[in-house]
Amino acid sequence: MLRLVLAILLVLVAVPAVAQDVPPPTPRVDLHLGLGYTRWVGEGTESDDGRAGFVMKWGVNLSRRVGIVFDGSFGVSSGGHAVYSITAGPRIAFVNHSKVVPFGYVVAGVNHYRVVTQLWPFAYEARTAAEVAAGGGLDVVLSRRWALRVLQLEGRRILASGNPSQLLVSTGVVLRLGSVPQSK
């Protein structure tokens, strides 16, 4: 009888302890809002060619590991350069049984770049070109609805002559909505 009571107590204690280690389910949709810093790299760039701005990424997860990411970003430099970017592409998450989720992605889309050439009378030069980017990052799941995007690094290339590459570093919060059915 004592063994039966001990076995029941062991099960009652062990099941909640194991359940705590299970991360929240993969969200169907995640929305990342954050701050980023972009640095122009390559030939023809100046030492102060960087800009701070906002980053918004919207992801739709097709399974626990594979999803589609949509990226919209905006940044302004102290020199009056403004860059708007809209891209989309596949994302792979390296999901395991922890609350730390590394991910990687490749996207393509459109980049619009505007440079102020004269303040009075106001004049600017603008270009729109195709853009490709590859990157990755690390999310830490805080709860079923929230995660912290600790770090995201992205390399961008504007596919037009005379444009240098860009390196984007960002961080922020992730709102997690819905859930992907778990495969058995």
The tens digit of pLDDT for each residue in 79-127 reads 667 778 899 999 999 887 789 999 999 999 998 878 777 767 777 788 8
pLDDT at 48: 57
CATH code 2.40.420.20 for 22-177: no
Report the SS3 class of residue 7. helix
pLDDT at 41: 77
Residue spans per domain, the chain:
22-177
Predicted TM-score (pTM) of the model is 0.76
pLDDT at 147: 95
- Cα–Cα distance, 95 to 67 (Å, whole number): 12
- Cα–Cα distance, 128 to 117 (Å, whole number): 17
- Cα–Cα distance, 152 to 1 (Å, whole number): 56
Under 8 Å between Cβ of 69 and 105: yes
Distances in whole angstroms, Cα of residue 168 to Cα of each of 54, 66, 72: 11, 23, 13
Q: Which amino acid is at 126?
A: A
Residue ranges of the alpha helices (H) in 28-163? none
Residue with tokens 């058995």: 184
pLDDT at 51: 77
pLDDT at 183: 64
pLDDT at 60: 94
pLDDT at 43: 60
pLDDT at 10: 52
Burial of 132 (0-12, 13-18, 19+ CB in 10 A): middle
Helical (H) or strand (E) element with 178: none
Count of CB atoms situated within 10 Å of the CB of 95: 16
Low-confidence ranges of the chain (pLDDT < 50): 4-6, 12-19
pLDDT at 125: 81
Q: Which amino acid is at 123?
A: A
For residue 76, which phi and psi values (nearest 5 degrees)? -130, 135
For residue 32, which phi and psi values (nearest 5 degrees)? -100, 125
pLDDT at 16: 44
Average pLDDT over all residues of the chain:
81
- Cα–Cα distance, 84 to 75 (Å, whole number): 7
